[in-house]
Copies of this chain bind each other. A is one copy, B any other.
Amino acid sequence: MECLCNKEYKKLDKKDIDFLIDILGEDRVYTGENINEDFSHDELGGISKMPEAMVEVLNTEEVSKVMTYAYENNIPVVARGSGTGLVGASVPIHGGIMINLTNMNNILEIDEENLTLTLEPGVLLMEIGKYVEEHDLFYPPDPGEKSATIGGNINTNAGGMRAVKYGVTRDYIRGLEVVLPTGKVIEVGGKIVKNSSGYSIKDLICGSEGTLGIVTKAVLRLLPLPKKAISLLIPFPNLETAINTVPKIIKSKSIPTAIEFMQREVILAAEEFLGKKFPDNSSDAYLLLTFDGNSTADIEKDYEKVANICLEEGALDVYISDTDERKEAVWSARGAFLEAVKATTTEMDECDVVVPRNKVAEFVKYTDELQKKFDVRIRSFGHAGDGNLHVYVLRDDLAKEEWEKKLSDVFECMYKKSRELNGLVSGEHGIGFAKKSYMFEQYGDDYIELMKNIKLAFDPKNILNPGKVCE
Name the residue among A157, A253, A387, A455 with the largest chain B CB count within 10 angstroms: A253
Across the interface, do B447 and A186 meet the contact criterion of CB distance under 8 Å?
Answer: yes
Q: Which residues of the other chain, B, contact A190 by a CB distance below 8 angstroms?
A: 356, 422-424
B200 adjacent to A114 (CB under 8 Å): no
Min Cβ gap A137→B in Å is 8
* A24: interface (CB < 8 Å): no
> For the complex, is A355 an interface residue (Cβ under 8 Å from B)?
yes
Q: Most chain-B CB neighbours within 10 Å: which of A167, A203, A442?
A: A203
Least Cβ–Cβ distance between A216 and chain B, in angstroms: 15
Q: Which residues of B contact A76 (CB under 8 A)?
A: none
Taking A388-B194, A446-B180 as contacts, is the C-beta distance between A469 and B199 under 8 angstroms?
Answer: yes
Contacting pair B113 A247 (CB below 8 A): yes
**A107 to B339 Cα, complex, angstroms:** 45
Interface residues of A in 334-380 (CB under 8 A from B): 352, 354-358
| Residues A113 and B251 in contact, CB atoms below 8 Å apart | yes
Complex Cα–Cα for A453 and B206 (A) = 18
A431-447: CB near B (< 8 Å → 1, else 0) gives 10000000100110011
Q: Chain B residues near A460: list those with CB within 8 A.
A: 1
A52 within 8 A of B: no
Partner among B114, B196, B422 whose Cβ is within 8 Å of the Cβ of A428: B196
Q: Which residue of B lies closest to A423 (CB)?
A: B192
A208 to B352, CA, bound (A): 30
CB distance from A199 to the nearest CB of B (A): 5
Flag A122-144 by CB within 8 Å of B: 1 or 0 each: 00000000000000100000000
A354 and B195 contact, CB distance less than 8 A: yes
Asked if A184 is an interface residue, CB under 8 A from chain B, the answer is: yes
- A313-334 toward B: CB 8 Å interface, digit per residue (1/0)? 0000000000000000000000
Cβ contact of A427, chosen from B171, B195, B224, cutoff 8 A? B195
A450 CB–B CB distance under 8 Å: yes
Q: How far is the CB of A79 from the nearest CB of chain B, in Å?
A: 17
Q: Is the CB of B356 within 8 A of A184?
A: no
Q: Which residue of B lies closest to A442 (CB)?
A: B197
Q: Which of B136, B158, B191, B451 contacts A199 (CB 8 A)?
A: B451
In this complex, the interface size class of chain A, counting residues with CB under 8 Å from chain B, is 35 or more
Interface of A (DSSP majority class) = loop
A243 to nearest B CB, angstroms?
Answer: 12
Q: Which B residue sits closest to A352, measured CB to CB?
A: B196
Does chain B have a CB within 8 A of A454? yes
Question: What 1/0 flags go to A219-234 for Cβ under 8 Å of B?
Answer: 0000011000000000
State in angstroms the CA–CA spacing of A170 and B156 once bound together. 18
- Tell me whether B431 and A198 are in contact (CB under 8 A): yes
Q: Which residues of chain B are within 8 angstroms of A447 by Cβ–Cβ distance?
A: 186, 188, 201
Interface residue A115 (Cβ < 8 Å from any Cβ of B): yes
* Interchain CA distance A428-B197 in the complex, whole Å: 8
| Per-residue B-contact encoding for A162-184, CB less than 8 Å = 1, 0 else | 01100110110000000010101
B451 and A136: CB pair below 8 A?
no
- Interface 0/1 of A99-130, CB less than 8 Å to B: 00000000000011111000000000000000
Q: Are A186 and B446 in contact (CB under 8 A)?
A: yes
Q: Contact check: which of B182, B386, B425 meets A193 at CB < 8 Å?
A: B386
What's the minimum C-beta distance from A417 to chain B, rounded to whole angstroms?
14
User: How far does the alpha carbon of A192 sit from the alpha carbon of B354 in the complex, in Å?
Assistant: 6
Residue A426 lies at the interface, judged by CB distance under 8 Å to chain B: yes
Does A470 touch B at the CB level, under 8 Å? yes
The answer for the CA separation of A193 and B470 in the assembled complex, in Å, is 22
Does A3 touch B at the CB level, under 8 Å?
no
Residue from B424, B442, B454 within 8 A of A192 (CB atoms): B424
Query: Is A357 within 8 A of B193, CB to CB?
Result: yes
- Is the CB of A91 closer than 8 A to any CB of chain B? no
Query: Complex formed: what's the CA distance from A263 to B442 in Å?
Result: 54
Contact B425 A197 (CB under 8 A): yes
Q: A304 on the interface (CB 8 Å rule)? A: no
Q: A430 to chain B: closest CB distance in Å?
A: 5
Please name all residues of chain B whose beta carbon is closer than 8 Å to the beta carbon of A23 when the two chains form the complex.
none
Q: Determine the distance from Cα of A224 to Cα of B249 in the docked complex, in whole angstroms.
A: 12
Whether B423 and A470, one on each chain, are in contact in the complex, defined by CB atoms closer than 8 angstroms, is no
**Closest CB-CB distance, A251 to chain B, in whole Å?**
6
The distance in angstroms between the C-alpha atoms of A164 and B192, with both chains bound, is: 11
Interface flag for A207 (CB, 8 Å): yes
Q: Name the one of B194, B203, B422 contacting A203, with C-beta atoms under 8 angstroms.
A: B203
